[in-house]
Structure 1
Amino acid sequence: MTETGVPILMYHSVATDPNAATRALSVAPEAFAEQLALVAELGLTPLTTAELAARWRSGRPLPGRPVLITFDDGYEGVHRHALPVLAEHGFPATLFVATGWIAGAGPDTMLDWGQVRELAAAGVEIGGHSHTHPQLDQLDDTPLRRELTRCRDRVADELAALPVSFAYPYGYSSRRVRQAVRAAGFTQALAVGNGPARRAQGPYALRRVTVRRSTGLDTFERLLTGRRLTRTFARDRALTRGYALVRRARQVRRKATRTRV
């Protein structure tokens, strides 16, 4: 029997007037409200990342029609615009914070730690997303560990609880990165992949689907139901394959340079 996939929605900014750097991956507040209303109308059951992974790990059954609502980076609009809609429907979510971007260091208006704590108190799981948001698979071992542990420790200091879920910046990982994420104490991690998450992917390579400003309600429904995802994300997958070759070539060059030195 084919395993039923779980749609994990990947949001970034929820903003009325995002800047040029974040606009494509932002969602208008009105669109976000319509999307979550559709989640409710279709009878889906939102879970946090930690809950999904724990159920798969223990073998406990999932609720009917599960879905995950996740946010990357830590934009202020998650508190201003997304939280009231989540609260209206009683939906949990997961926010992955790049800790070095909190309180103004990111590419647009970012959350502060007080807002992050309010999100956590409202039922939003707070996960890690590195400290400075680099391409982790391009880092050597020492800076890779530092990115993970600084993120983990800052979240723990601010929330008095260790984060257990992680999302790879840009969605990039490798076996070495996944091992480092596990060694840092995270028990599950999300990539991108633009397809449904399945238990067989393993807890450190769960796929998500991207929600953009250009994602209309019909397309959004396809993300929830898994219909025609290959066609929907064909361009993304082609670009991902091409850039994967570029990044592997960079890694080979760096290793060769270190060997010569």
Structure 2
Amino acid sequence: MNILMALSQLEVTGAEAYATTVGNELTKRGHKLFYVSDTLTKPHEGPYFKLRFNKRSILRRFWHVGYLISLIKKHNIQLVHAHSRASSWSCHIACKLTKTPMVTTVHGRQPVHASRKKFHAMGDKALPVCEAIEQQLINELNVIPEMLAISRNGIDTTRYQVTPPPRNDKPVIAIIGRLSGPKGDLCYRLLKDSLDSERYDIRIYTGTEPDTRFDEFKNKVNFVGYVEDVPAAMAEADLVIGAGRVAMESLLCGRPTFAIGEAISIGLVTPENVQKAMATNFGDIGPKELDIDFTLAREQINQSVSLSGCDTAVTETIQQNYQLNTVVSQLEKIYQDVYVKTLRREIPVIMYHRFIDRDEDKSVFAPYLHIDMLEKHFKLLKKMGFETLTFADFQDRGTMSRLEAGKRYIMITVDDGYRDNYELLFPLLKKYGFKAVIYTVTGVDYNRWDVENPGQAEKRAELMTPKQIKEMADSGLVEFGGHTLTHPKLSQLTRDEQQHEIAENKAQLEKIIGKPLVSFAYPYGDHNQESKDIAKEQGFDFAVATDSGPCAFHQDHYQIRRIAIFPRTDVFGLWRKIRGNYTFRKAKSNNGI
């Protein structure tokens, strides 16, 4: 996916660290990242475009929107991820005009005024980094809860190792953060009212040039400036003071951490208050700004300096909640949610059964397709530029790979494992270079479930032999999936009966093809929660239904919706079904919306 990260800043901020950290992880996962901001300092993979978001006159904002539109079109941007109020406003307009999905990470407390309540300008989804921001958006800006999803800061926890306490003759207190805005006000008050420069070696790590109000401290405090190796600076400190990302990183290093931010003072982070700290972004977000007793903070800091490290339970909590892979996986799901819902487009997963080349082989009731029409289907897929995927592709690359820019993907699935799949379908797969997933019954050698169906008896049709299955699997064009032993309606069986049908079928197929199965298909699309649970327990990564499940492919890996192909599905009928919005239109029609 092509993703544009948008920031507005004049110096290094936590938002930049967030955007570039998750952006670099997204790049590793195969996405193409672009950045637009006033400045960009942190290492990043992907082109950077300079745009002065902080110039906010009406004319400037029109220019911002126009420039963003040009970036979106030129680089085929599929989703915009904004990280500040100034950038989100312009991105919101540009995305509306270009119909581009957009999310906004909300890193801090938002200003409250009438226009902001009516025009949130946060795109299709807002991602507060903590619970306090979420509550403010709901209670003060009237943002509906369904538009929100808490998404923590993503931290590469491998960069931060627990370090032994330093052996400083004079205790070192490290304050890390910018010196502008509310952060600068906080630092000034700490130096003035809470920290004893005679007692402590106070080191301030910042990318901001101190303004004149800090002159009185220049002979008492070490203004180190900006450092790239923050963990090394933390390792030298007996106590780290900071909020937001600084506090998280310090706790990952096992350092005693005094969380105090733009709103409140949490104090020394302990197992008892770590949840409160996380909910307030470690003091940066509260019911109101700068509600801090600096005299009390002085006493608490003096008590905290003598500690050798933070509690290991706190470090583990931070690792669990802010681990980069976990956060980015959540982001990928949100991106998919927003992209599919906004554009109402999804990869078509089409479902065939039997194929015939003679009229006398037509089924009485069961679905089939003449091989001549199948070839017409394949020609249409080629003409429309479709490439085929299987579930093994998603196992390797993740479901988000289906949204790759400039690609058009489809999944061809075939149920039951009839011998005509080998005799008629297989040659066409070779001819057109398409891949398919075939779900095969193994407990019988013909369609017994249809032939012996009272009142709706079907013609006999043979299933594939193990040798044919093996040949197709070895070709690289066919992925086989489980489909039970005897094709029952699973919801009508006991759990033990379902277990036997699913597990034994899987074992038999894996023995034939010599590798694990990736996906399973419920016969008739019929299943219950036990069926889904068993499929997952048996090691299937995906399971497909028929006309049920979410319209979005990724939202339930064990109830993936498919589009049925019937004898009367001609070329035009197929075109209607594979345009991308068919399941959305059908679901809307079925619900009577």
User: Same fold per TM (> 0.5)?
Assistant: yes
The count of corresponding residues between Structure 1 and Structure 2 is 234
Residues 53 and 188, structure 1, Cα contact 8 Å, conserved in 2: no
Q: Does structure 1 residue 113 correspond to structure 2 residue 113?
A: no
The alpha-carbon distance between structure 1 residues 65 and 187, as it changes in their structure 2 partners (threshold 3 A), is same
Letter of the structure 1 residue corresponding to residue 533 of structure 2: Q
- Superposed CA deviations along residues 196-233 of structure 1, whole A, max 9, x for unmatched, are 96244321111110001111111101111035557779
The alpha-carbon distance between structure 1 residues 40 and 208, as it changes in their structure 2 partners (threshold 3 A), is same
Q: Does structure 1 residue 10 correspond to structure 2 residue 351?
A: yes
Residues 56 and 199, structure 1, Cα contact 8 Å, conserved in 2: no
Supply the distance in 2 between the matched residues of 1:5 and 1:230 (Cα, whole angstroms).
9
- Superposed CA deviations along residues 138-166 of structure 1, whole A, max 9, x for unmatched, are 11111010001110110011112121210
Cα shift at 1:192:
1.0
> TM-score when scaled to structure 2?
0.37
Aligned runs of 1:120-139 on 2, under 5 Å?
120-123=473-476, 124-139=478-493
Corresponding residue for 1:92?
435
Residues 346 and 581, structure 2, Cα contact 8 Å, conserved in 1: no
Cα shift at 1:174:
1.9
> Larger Cα Rg: Structure 1 or Structure 2?
2
Aligned runs of 1:45-60 on 2, under 5 Å?
45-56=387-398, 59-60=400-401
Q: Residue 100 of structure 1 aligns to a residue in which SS? A: coil
Q: Does structure 1 residue 83 correspond to structure 2 residue 426?
A: yes
Residues 194 and 209, structure 1, Cα contact 8 Å, conserved in 2: no
Q: Which has the higher contact order (CA 8 A, sep 6+)?
A: 1
Residues 53 and 203, structure 1, Cα contact 8 Å, conserved in 2: no
Letter of the structure 2 residue corresponding to residue 215 of structure 1: T
Of 137-146 and 190-199, more deviation after overlay is shown by: 190-199
Residues 195 and 209, structure 1, Cα contact 8 Å, conserved in 2: no
Cα shift at 1:71:
0.5
Q: Give the aligned CA root-mean-square deviation in angstroms.
A: 2.5
Q: 1:70 aligns with which of 410, 413, 426?
A: 413
Q: 1:146 aligns with which of 500, 512, 515?
A: 500
The alpha-carbon distance between structure 1 residues 61 and 218, as it changes in their structure 2 partners (threshold 3 A), is closer
Supply the distance in 2 between the matched residues of 1:228 and 1:70 (Cα, whole angstroms).
17
Q: Residue 546 of structure 2 aligns to a residue in which SS? A: strand
Corresponding residue for 1:37?
379
Cα shift at 1:55:
3.1
Of 61-70 and 206-215, more deviation after overlay is shown by: 61-70
Supply the distance in 2 between the matched residues of 1:233 and 1:34 (Cα, whole angstroms).
27
Corresponding residue for 1:25?
367
Supply the distance in 2 between the matched residues of 1:10 and 1:230 (Cα, whole angstroms).
17
Cα shift at 1:54:
4.3
- Superposed CA deviations along residues 169-211 of structure 1, whole A, max 9, x for unmatched, are 0011222210011111111111112799624432111111000
> TM-score when scaled to structure 1?
0.81
Residues 402 and 409, structure 2, Cα contact 8 Å, conserved in 1: no
Supply the distance in 1 between the matched residues of 2:498 and 2:393 (Cα, whole angstroms).
27
Residues 482 and 505, structure 2, Cα contact 8 Å, conserved in 1: yes
Cα shift at 1:111:
1.1
Q: Does structure 1 residue 158 correspond to structure 2 residue 512?
A: yes
Supply the distance in 2 between the matched residues of 1:61 and 1:67 (Cα, whole angstroms).
9
The alpha-carbon distance between structure 1 residues 119 and 234, as it changes in their structure 2 partners (threshold 3 A), is farther
Of 129-138 and 48-57, more deviation after overlay is shown by: 48-57
Q: Residue 561 of structure 2 aligns to a residue in which SS? A: strand
Q: Does structure 1 residue 175 correspond to structure 2 residue 518?
A: no
Cα shift at 1:52:
3.1
Residues 416 and 441, structure 2, Cα contact 8 Å, conserved in 1: yes
Supply the distance in 2 between the matched residues of 1:155 and 1:61 (Cα, whole angstroms).
27
Letter of the structure 2 residue corresponding to residue 148 of structure 1: I
Of 189-198 and 212-221, more deviation after overlay is shown by: 189-198
Residues 441 and 482, structure 2, Cα contact 8 Å, conserved in 1: yes
Letter of the structure 2 residue corresponding to residue 51 of structure 1: D
Structure 2: state its 5+ residue gaps.
1-100, 102-338, 449-459
- Superposed CA deviations along residues 103-157 of structure 1, whole A, max 9, x for unmatched, are 3464412211111111111220011001110011111111010001110110011
Letter of the structure 2 residue corresponding to residue 136 of structure 1: L
The alpha-carbon distance between structure 1 residues 197 and 232, as it changes in their structure 2 partners (threshold 3 A), is closer
